[in-house]
Structure 1
Amino acid sequence: MTGARVLVVEDAETIRAALESSLRTAGHDVSTRTDGTRLERDIAEFRPDVVVLDVMVPGRDGFALLAVVRRISLAGVVMLTARDGVVDRLRAFEAGADDYVMKPFVLAELVARVNAVLRRMGRVSARVQVDDLVVDSDSGDVSRGGVPIALTATEFKLLCYLAVNRDRVLSKTQILTNVWGYEDYDTNLVDVFISLLRRKLEAHGPRLVHTVRGRGFMLRAQQRLAG
């Protein structure tokens, strides 16, 4: 999954930085802004595939910015808001938003929503294959060598995160933040679930989830290990 351009308009520094890190880790080219003052120019120059808009940014609010995107671009739009009113959600969808995510949110869910929008646009595939392992994030199906593998919800979320970022080393903190939604927690939780996931995957073939000592874990095809 590479090449998708995501423009993030979010004034909260911690949220903006976390979104940028998670979307980049997922393989996207990311540009961030604190407001939509230059949105028309940003869209013309960056040509985003998806725009993530906070409803409450300074100046023109997210609904006004959504109208700008719809007027000059075919980009998908994911709205972010702390508001939980049905009226706001309906307003966003009626104005052309592709998705609407409530704060606080789990980063992995937001990345998944962005990827879902990209899939509907034909930009990315829901199906990832690594050797004989096939993971379909839309259907929830996992198989190895054609044999279905039953995973818990958390195991599946962990595998999807590893699969989307295949061939990349992911730290325990990155995994905690993107799969569980927090980083200030015992990293042994990651070790436990990696062990559970390996046990199920390795019942049907050689190891694909590898430990990179001192750095984290990665999902990598066997043939990439030669030499």
Structure 2
Amino acid sequence: MQKAELVIIDGTQIGVLPDVVTYNTLIDGYFRFSGMDAAYSVLYRMREAGISPDVITYNSLIAGATRNFSLEQSLDLFEEMIQSGITPDIWSYNTLMHCFFILGKPDEAYRVFKDIILKDLSPHPVTFNTMINGLCKHGYTSNAIMLFRNLQRHGFIPQLVTYNILINGLCKVSRLRAAIRMLNEAIDSGLEPNAVTYTTLMKSCFRSRQYEHEFEIFSKMTKDMLSMALLTAQLLVLFLS
């Protein structure tokens, strides 16, 4: 980040002044590599230079605060953005929803999700996956599946990550048969399950002692041509975990 700062200083000396894009890049970089204090110092300098933050600035700040588990600060920044007359975009709402789930407030997260739909903000697959994952993690797996089916009826085409989230959620509440049906659905839709998919299912078999499903899952793994080295490694993890 020091090199980035030097480039900006050199540019300033020859009359190339940093703009909002420059400051946004620095804020995001400092949050990722140097911490919150450094990122906020850039925000202060930005305002001192007479450059107003935009929605991308606030998205970087909110995401950075959330990654650092400064969750109340994330909520304050979201409110500050609105008070400043800046309209949140889909990424602002995605991060806010994620923040509420971390805070253990799934009802608030669902309220944000409904706002996204009502405001016609063109939800991204990340939006749906965040909501489904949050519901599963808080024990609302049945609600997550109901939402998933409703989204499918409205044209949502799930990615493998969506199926992995649901399979993991079902396994955690000991619904292994339903998880295997979800696996079959993913395969039938043309998706190729990965090591995460199979490891989740095999762990569930071992932990729930439902060994009758192991051969079925193992045969699907070999049909999908996962290497034997990978299979062996995953099984070792299962035995040792």
State the structure with more CA Rg.
2
The TM tier, using the shorter chain, reads 0.3 to 0.5
Name the TM-score, length of structure 2 as normaliser: 0.32
- Higher RCO (CA-CA < 8 Å; seq separation 6+): 1
Q: Which has the higher helix share?
A: 2
Greater share of strand: 1
With normalisation by structure 1, the TM-score equals 0.33
